[in-house]
Structure 1
Amino acid sequence: MKVRTVVGLDAGRSAMKVVAYHGSKRFDVIFPTLVVAAVELSDPTTAARAKLETETVDGKAFFTGDTARLQGNLTSSVGLNDNWTDTPEYLALIQSAITRLKHQGVPGLDDALIVIGTPARLFGSRQESLVARTSKALPAGVELKALPQPMGAYCDYILDKSGMPIKEKLMGQGGKLKSYGVIEGGHFSTDFLLMKEGQYIERGADSCSGMSTAAERLRHILAKKEIQASLVECEESFTSKCLYQFGTELNIEEEIGEGQGHVIQEIIAKANSLFADDARSLTGILIAGGSAGAIYNVTSQTWKHSILLPNSRWAVADGFARYALGQLIRASVNANSQAAVNG
């Protein structure tokens, strides 16, 4: 029986995170969500390195990832609006993700099962158009499915690496399914999900500001101290906790905390409005995404059953891939059952 490749694709607004499984082998790719029109590079070594990160969409060439960051002198990320998936830059990033997987030697990408995500509040209205749009950047034989972004984190928590449910995380006493809330802190938006006894609850799906707002606030805080920084530099500092200024490495952890504080409070307020009536009865509130640590530091003080996912930045991509593996298993079981009936 042919082994089919699955891919979980988290098209974040600060970084593209991609996880692929072929059989038991796992592959992953991460690169900055940066795109710029390509230019001719005169240095042969630089040009060769840039070739892997260059994609063509509708006849126009784009640099992606680190090549875009270095060659394009970008000052902000792309995709800081709800319509960014309608742009050629989005298609270039999706193509680049597949190119990078191919470069790693991932087999079976031409007919893979790929799962992508939408912001929670846009899932109902955007899932079909997102699938149609993203398909333009993928091989014709690919099967593509869209889920709400925080569903990836939920799947990462309750499914094992083969895509099968982890019984103790899913089943409660008396055979009743456990219930969870999810907060997925992203760059453009923070997304929320409520799963009660295995059911997706519409009133618990919403979004609010992400860390791009905090990056903007951080830039203003630094400017008041006569420290200049672009939005991209501010975004990168959330991980590094430092900033370079004329050869000096500045520790700006205090300023980062101040910049993120307002956004964290907005996230907590939104979580309270969505989960308040249900929080007490939930098994846990899962915290994932690039800003998971900062969110968890606050939610854990009020909700003692907050759970910081150990691979929080990768949780969505990994969860999507695990969901896809589970779908293949279910399809195989159903096919075998049908064959037994027909036989």
Structure 2
Amino acid sequence: MQSRTVVGLDTGRSAIKVVAYAEGARFSIMYPTLAVPAVELTDPTTAERAKSETEIVDGKAYFTGDTARLQGNLTSSIGLNDDWTDTPEYQALVKSAFTRLHKAGVPNLDSAYVVIGTPSKLYGTRQERLVEKTKLALPKGVEIKALPQPMGAYCDYVLDKSGMPIKDKLIGPSGRTKSYGVIEGGHFSTDFLLMKEGQYIERGADSCSGMSAAAEQLRRVLAKRNLTASLVECEEAFRTKTLFQFGEEIPIANEVLEAQSHVVQEIISKGNSLFADDARSLNGILIAGGSADAIHAITSQTWKHSILMENSRWSVAEGFARYGLGQLIRASISAIQQVAANG
């Protein structure tokens, strides 16, 4: 049994997804990627409820998650730029992840192994800074590893819940390691990954627009029907296919499809440019992330070996956690072998 706690942290721009494994148990938490400076709440019940979603960064209090959504009157998500991880709001949201895990009863968080992600195109330039900024929000004993976002989906597919490789997903009949492409459809960016025979391929790592661009388009489409919606409401509509207006739930599935189609076409175009020469030789193209259903509906027409990940919205966080478990197991085996060699 693994004694050290492992945390997979997917800081998506519409929702934070957290998966932790500790003492044989799995924990999962999700909350909106929203943070605003806190204000004094006069209603005692509301104020008490907000306490667990309030974090202090550099001496300043921030509401996070649903409290930020309700109290902050936000009209758009935060973090829709490459530098958002340098902001106090990012630190507040990361701190909130550990606060929520602690409340859920996850043990040994002070010495946890945490795996986080960056957009593929930023991995080479931003991973070290991301680790530094994330460390500021977490206990000093925590160890942090950064991976490209879609690597989480890959690990979710090829590793089991103990972090060990699933042989038939990794090794082909000839004994050669299988190859996969990954498309992870997020809110801010859609990220691509190419793993050929177990090797990370630099030319296959890139990013393009995410569904935040579709949210802007949905606002314009709805305006033609004289319907008003904030970007936050549009983002929610991607999941619900409805819009709440003056006490009425209005179905807008067709409008959502129209708004998403332009972004999905851009994703397909980018995927074609990155995978074109390799697609035929891949064992599968894994589709993950919050917009996986919309992407898979199109990619499956071109690439018959597209695989829609199970629980696609959770795939990155789950894969990060499984990667962390595998790393700890490998470290333990290496330590045992070293002791045996020295003995």
Normalised by the shorter chain, which TM-score bucket?
over 0.9
Distance in 2 between residues matched to 1:46 and 1:125, nearest whole Å = 42
> 1:140: how far off?
0.1
Residue matched to 1:34: 34
Deviations 1:257-302 (A, max 9, x none): 0000000000000000000000000000000000000000000001
Gaps of at least 5 residues in structure 1 are none
Any idea what SS the aligned residue of 1:314 has?
helix
Residue matched to 1:268: 268
Distance in 1 between residues matched to 2:130 and 2:244, nearest whole Å = 38
Residue matched to 2:174: 174
> 1:23: how far off?
2.8
> 1:174: how far off?
2.4
Q: Percent identity?
A: 73
Map 1:1-343; keep pairs closer than 5 Å.
3-343=3-343
Distance in 1 between residues matched to 2:260 and 2:206, nearest whole Å = 20
Deviations 1:84-109 (A, max 9, x none): 00000000000001100000010010
Distance in 2 between residues matched to 1:249 and 1:194, nearest whole Å = 41
Distance in 2 between residues matched to 1:213 and 1:308, nearest whole Å = 22
Deviations 1:103-140 (A, max 9, x none): 00100100000000000000001111110111000000
Query: With structure 2 as the length reference, what TM-score do the two structures score?
Result: 0.99
Aligned pair in 2 of structure 1 residues 251, 309: CA closer, same or farther (>3 Å)?
same
**Runs of 4+ in structure 1 over 6 Å off:** none
Distance in 2 between residues matched to 1:82 and 1:220, nearest whole Å = 25
> 1:248: how far off?
1.0
> 1:186: how far off?
0.1
Any idea what SS the aligned residue of 2:106 has?
coil
> 1:173: how far off?
2.0
Distance in 1 between residues matched to 2:124 and 2:74, nearest whole Å = 33
Distance in 1 between residues matched to 2:305 and 2:58, nearest whole Å = 49
Aligned pair in 2 of structure 1 residues 280, 2: CA closer, same or farther (>3 Å)?
closer
Distance in 2 between residues matched to 1:277 and 1:266, nearest whole Å = 18
> 1:311: how far off?
1.1
Gaps of at least 5 residues in structure 2 are none
Distance in 2 between residues matched to 1:182 and 1:313, nearest whole Å = 14
Distance in 2 between residues matched to 1:32 and 1:184, nearest whole Å = 19
C-alpha root-mean-square deviation of aligned residues, in Å? Answer: 0.8
Query: Are 2:2 and 2:22, in contact at CA under 8 Å, matched by a contact in 1?
Result: no
> 1:2: how far off?
7.3
Query: Are 2:2 and 2:23, in contact at CA under 8 Å, matched by a contact in 1?
Result: no
Distance in 1 between residues matched to 2:146 and 2:33, nearest whole Å = 19
Any idea what SS the aligned residue of 2:329 has?
helix
Distance in 2 between residues matched to 1:227 and 1:315, nearest whole Å = 34
Query: What amino acid is the match of 1:304?
Result: K
Distance in 1 between residues matched to 2:218 and 2:143, nearest whole Å = 41
Distance in 2 between residues matched to 1:292 and 1:116, nearest whole Å = 20
The 10-residue stretch of structure 1 (150-159 or 171-180) with the greater mean CA deviation from structure 2: 171-180
Any idea what SS the aligned residue of 2:187 has?
coil
Distance in 1 between residues matched to 2:23 and 2:215, nearest whole Å = 40
Any idea what SS the aligned residue of 1:139 has?
coil
Any idea what SS the aligned residue of 1:328 has?
helix
Distance in 1 between residues matched to 2:23 and 2:212, nearest whole Å = 37
